[in-house]
Structure 1
Amino acid sequence: MPDTAKVKGPASYFPSIEKTYGQPVEHWFGVLRTAGPLKHMELVALLKGQHGLGHGHANALVAHFMAAR
């Protein structure tokens, strides 16, 4: 029997983000990379204000992005 672990943490939002906004998460990571050295909440505000993402989705993307640095 296959052991499929349920995705937890920020990555659990990724399927919903891709479905809702029509872009792969890598697109949003590219946006964050080009934004420059901003703080967590500054990046969240950028995704919300300039790209129309909801707070939870923006926060999940930024948390995952910052943890991978």
Structure 2
Amino acid sequence: MNFICALNEQDKEILTLKGFKYIMSQDLGNHTIYMFENIPDNILNFSQEDKMKYLFTNKMYF
């Protein structure tokens, strides 16, 4: 999985603080999705709850 998608501003800030590189935002309906580059070593620091909050994908566009 090459990308991590945050579904709100708060999760976007959390990923930024964890050192993930922000790539872009994309509108999907009336929601904004924030795309980050997946860093495999950093993903190991995610709790099980964190893994349920984010989308992990190989696609940059929806």
Determine which structure has greater relative contact order: mean sequence separation of CA pairs < 8 Å that are 6+ residues apart, divided by chain length: 2
Q: When the two structures are superposed, what TM-score results if normalisation uses the length of structure 1?
A: 0.33
Q: When the two structures are superposed, what TM-score results if normalisation uses the length of structure 2?
A: 0.35
